[in-house]
């Protein structure tokens, strides 16, 4: 018994001495970092959450002298899942972001209606609301891809697209409340920004699935996303989802306003211009690996990206790793929702040699995303809008990823 107790005392003593030595060693030296871990209290609770200081994703900002009439781009290459955080949702403004007091804001609904109405924001929010996941995409997204100045990374190439949970009142509810007259065919929708942004919206689309939104991703709209009210027109070019919505006039015809004649038209090779090309066609983008990223040597990787279509749900995404000579089906992550981002994934074993990765998608209408060459053959090189060509990324032997079109 004495030998056992003696051995145990010697062992405990040795352990204590070693522990003290290690502690002293760890705490010595002028460059020793502050201790962290469960022994130290962390930050207290806060009234509004913030992300970790180690997460630094930001929107890409334009290099311009007129930031009030410019855009910021979503860092799609850093995204996960299908939703875009409100703080990283792309912006496109023509006259900056207005500062609007919701208590003073009003929405006027008039024109070819039986009962012209004025709604407060509180009255809108008290009406039965719905929440839907939809993407928004500027029709000028990927505009540089028409020519030689293609995007170096995913945000430059396709960053004027984002996807959110939108909460609001169906526009059809407001129109039924006002009583739409039989001659009505169009709406003229106007924002409260300094340029009085206006767009013509067909009545059929307004009655189908358009929202007067007041919420985004579980909270009120951000000011740059149209606070306190905006339109969300699913699947159509982003400019028609008028922000800071203040007026809707019901009419018998489109008004051919400035923002749909001097802008947001597509010049064709024969000199004519397409107008009211509302729907955003099927499009996909590999977000990893993509321009500006680097692979850490040969081995197994998961190629991933996003696909979306204004015509409905994504049914198929194919990935090529050999410059389009062969294509293989990618795995589509649920949920797959109409007019929303769909996340796709594809297992790939990289052998360390140069490779070109690209994706193409097919939506439920049967529309297949075209190559750049196929798109230019039909549309020419004078367009600035509605580019949805296949985007290639080149993986170099050193693991760096660049724009394959550069």
Which one of 208, 241, 268 terminates a domain? 268
Do 235 and 383 reside in the same domain of the chain? Answer: no
Residues 167 and 302 in one domain: no
Same domain, 236 and 323: no
In this structure, the answer to whether residues 187 and 250 fall within a common structural domain is yes
Characterise 244 by phi-psi region: left (phi > 0), alpha (psi -120 to 50), beta (else): left
Residues 261 and 381 in one domain: no
Q: Is 26 within the bounds of a domain?
A: no
**What is the per-residue pLDDT for 38?**
73
C-alpha span between 258 and 192 (Å, rounded): 16
Q: What is the pLDDT of residue 35?
A: 59
> Which CATH number fits the domain that encloses residue 136?
3.90.420.10
Residue 139 lies in a domain: yes
Q: Do 291 and 251 share a structural domain? A: no
For residue 322, what is the domain's CATH number? 2.60.40.650
Are residues 293 and 253 part of one domain? no
48 in a domain, yes or no? no
- Domain end call among 204, 236, 268: 268
Same domain? For 192 and 316 the reply is no
CA distance 233 to 206: 8
CB 77 within 8 Å of CB 141? no
Each residue's pLDDT expressed in tens, for the chain with a length of 406 residues: 445 455 545 544 544 444 444 444 444 444 555 556 677 898 899 999 999 999 999 999 988 889 999 999 999 999 999 999 999 999 999 999 999 999 999 999 999 999 999 999 999 999 999 999 999 999 999 999 988 768 889 999 999 999 999 999 999 999 999 999 999 999 999 999 999 999 999 999 999 999 999 999 999 999 999 999 999 999 999 999 999 999 999 999 999 898 888 788 888 888 888 889 999 999 999 999 999 999 999 999 999 999 999 999 999 999 999 999 999 999 999 999 999 999 999 999 999 999 999 999 999 999 999 999 999 999 998 888 999 999 999 999 999 999 998 6
Q: What is the largest CA-CA distance in the chain?
A: 106
Q: Is 276 inside any structural domain?
A: no
Tell me, yes or no, whether 87 lies in a domain. yes
224 and 358 together in one domain: no
3-class SS letters over the chain? CHHHHHHHHHHHHHHHHHHHHHHHHHHCCCCCCCCCCCCCCCCCCCCCCCCCCCCCCCCECCCCCCHHHCEEECCHHHCCCCCCCHHHCCEECCCCCCCCCCCCCEEEEEECECCCEEEEHHHHHHCCCEEEEEEEECCCCCHHHHCCCCCCCHHHHHCCEEEEEEEEEEHHHHHHHHCECCCCCEEEEEECCCCCCEEEEEHHHHHHCCEEEEEECCEECCHHHCCCCEEECCCECHHHCCCCEEEEEEECCCCCCHHHCCCCCEECCCCCEECCCCECCCEEEEEECCCCCECCCCEEEEEEEEEECCCCCEEEEEEECECCCCCEECEECCCCCCCCCEEEEEEEEECCCCEEEEEEEEECCCCECCCHHHHHHHHCCCCCCCCCCCCCEEECCCCEEEECCC
**Token code pair at residue 401:** 């990823």
| Residue 303 domain flag | yes
Predicted local confidence at residue 20, as pLDDT = 47
241 and 212 inside one domain: yes
Q: How far is it, in rounded angstroms, from Cα 406 to Cα 396?
A: 13
Residue span of the structural domain in which 137 resides: 69-147+160-268
Quote the number of domains for the chain.
2
Please tell me whether residues 260 and 293 are part of one structural domain: no
Residue 223 lies in a domain: yes
Residue 345 belongs to a domain = yes
For strand 314-320 and strand 355-363, is the pairing parallel, antiparallel, or unpaired?
antiparallel
pLDDT at 151: 83
Pair 220, 361 in one domain = no
User: Are 174 and 249 contacting, i.e. CB atoms less than 8 angstroms apart?
Assistant: no
Residue 243's nearest CA partner among 275, 221, 276 is 221
pLDDT in the model for residue 89: 98
Where does a domain end: 243, 268, 293? Answer: 268
């Amino acid at each position: 018994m004495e030998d056992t107790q003696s051995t145990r005392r010697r062992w405990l003593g040795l352990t204590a001495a070693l522990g003290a030595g290690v502690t002293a060693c760890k705490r010595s030296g002028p460059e020793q970092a502050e201790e962290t871990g469960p022994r130290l209290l962390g930050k207290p609770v806060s009234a509004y959450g913030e992300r970790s200081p180690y997460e630094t994703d930001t929107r890409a900002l334009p290099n311009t002298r007129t930031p009030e009439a410019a855009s910021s781009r979503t860092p799609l290459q850093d995204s996960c899942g299908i939703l875009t955080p409100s703080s990283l949702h792309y912006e496109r403004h023509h006259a900056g972001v207005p500062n609007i007091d919701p208590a003073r804001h009003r929405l006027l609904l008039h024109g070819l209606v039986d009962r012209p109405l004025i709604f407060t924001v509180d009255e809108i929010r008290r009406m039965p609301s719905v929440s839907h996941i939809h993407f928004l995409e500027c029709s000028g997204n990927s505009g540089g891809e028409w020519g030689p100045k293609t995007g170096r990374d995913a945000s430059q190439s396709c960053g004027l697209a984002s996807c959110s949970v939108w909460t609001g009142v169906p526009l059809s509810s407001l129109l039924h409340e006002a009583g739409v007259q039989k001659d009505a065919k169009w709406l003229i929708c106007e924002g409260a920004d300094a340029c009085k942004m206006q767009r013509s919206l067909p009545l059929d689309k307004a009655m189908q699935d358009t929202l007067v939104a007041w919420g985004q991703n579980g909270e009120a709209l951000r000011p740059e996303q149209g606070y306190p009210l905006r339109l969300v027109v699913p699947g159509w070019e982003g400019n028609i989802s008028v922000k800071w919505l203040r007026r809707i006039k019901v009419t018998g015809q489109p008004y051919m306003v400035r923002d749909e004649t001097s802008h947001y038209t597509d010049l064709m090779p024969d000199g004519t211009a397409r107008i009211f090309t509302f729907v955003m066609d099927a499009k996909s983008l590999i977000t990893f690996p993509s321009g500006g990223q680097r692979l850490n040597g040969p081995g197994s990787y998961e190629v991933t990206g996003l696909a979306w279509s204004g015509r409905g749900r994504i049914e198929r995404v194919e990935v090529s790793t050999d410059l389009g000579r062969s294509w293989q089906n990618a795995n589509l992550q649920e949920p797959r929702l109409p007019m929303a981002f769909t996340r796709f994934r594809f297992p790939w074993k990289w052998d360390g040699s140069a490779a070109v990765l690209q994706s193409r998608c097919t939506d439920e209408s049967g529309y297949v995303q075209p190559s750049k060459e196929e798109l230019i053959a039909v549309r020419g090189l004078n367009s600035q809008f509605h580019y949805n060509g296949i985007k290639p990324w080149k993986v170099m032997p050193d693991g760096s990823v660049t724009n394959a079109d550069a």
